[in-house]
Chains A and B, each alone.
Chain A
């Protein structure tokens, strides 16, 4: 069974600085997707960034980028130029890409990010 581990329950960053959130996962599969989701106090889960395991290039979305290390099963999220609106709970998630597999998401326990003005 696949598992996702986020070892940082809480992180804090100064506005305009850079922060990196860590995620490791365990799987025996070779084809999968990895995601970072943001859940602000409003509760609605928002997709931040997606990484396909077959792609060697790290995904980027504006101020958000990932460091995907497939052999190490590591998938960290870097937030550059942090803004007050980035404060939220961040979840790392895994999804199998095998045909016929339920496309369920397996989530980590989350990292609560605080942004200090």
Chain B
């Protein structure tokens, strides 16, 4: 297993609500990337944080936002939840010392009803 942890494991929200997902990066890693994996699909890149600043964003609307903290842990916030936001959300940490190889957490399963 990697040293990347995510919380919560599962959660259920109602359409229109807001949600915050959390990720703790592996020790020594300063970069966190977030991915959305819909059922039966490959992960899609949401955005990446490097040293507390956003360092690239995929094709996701502004209601998807994030933060990275001084200890390099990170949050993904989603506002105004839609049914299509139901997915597995993966975070991955990396650093320059590992060819930027990404080490994934176990994911958070979000269900929007």
Contact between chains at A33 and B33 (CB < 8 Å):
no
Q: How many residues of A contact B (CB 8 A)?
A: 23
Min CB distance, B96 to chain A, in Å? 10
Chain B residues positioned under 8 Å from A43 (CB to CB): 88, 106-107, 109
A 26-63 contacts with B by CB, 8 A: 33, 37, 42-47, 50
Contact of B2 with A by CB under 8 A: yes
Query: Does the CB pair B106–A42 fall under 8 Å?
Result: yes
Q: Please, how many angstroms separate the alpha-carbon atoms of A43 and B106 in the complex?
A: 6
On whether the beta carbons of A44 and B42 are closer than 8 Å, the reply is: no
- CA–CA, A59 and B35, complex, Å: 26
Inter-subunit contact A47/B45 (CB<8 Å): no
Known A44-B1, A110-B42; judge A104-B58 contact (CB<8 A).
Answer: yes
A102–B106 CB distance below 8 A = no
* Closest B residue to A44 using CB positions: B106
The answer to whether A91 and B106 touch across the interface, beta carbons within 8 angstroms, is no
Q: Residue on A with the closest CB to B41?
A: A109
Do the beta carbons of B33 and A104 come within 8 Å of each other?
yes
Q: Which residues of B contact A102 (CB under 8 A)?
A: 48, 55-56
- A109→B35 CA distance, assembly (Å): 14
Inside 8 A of A42's CB, which chain B residues have their CB?
106
Q: Is the CB of A47 within 8 A of B101?
A: yes
B42 engages A109 (CB within 8 Å): yes
- CB distance B42 to A45 under 8 Å? no
Q: Are A108 and B45 in contact (CB under 8 A)?
A: no
Distance from B1 Cβ to chain A, minimum over Cβ atoms (Å): 7
CB-CB under 8 A for A44 and B48, given A95-B100, A104-B56: no
Some 22 contacts from A to B, beta carbons below 8 A apart, are: A43-B88, A46-B104, A47-B101, A91-B42, A91-B43, A101-B56, A103-B31, A103-B33, A103-B48, A103-B94, A104-B45, A104-B48, A105-B33, A105-B35, A105-B45, A105-B102, A107-B42, A107-B44, A109-B40, A109-B41, A110-B40, A110-B41
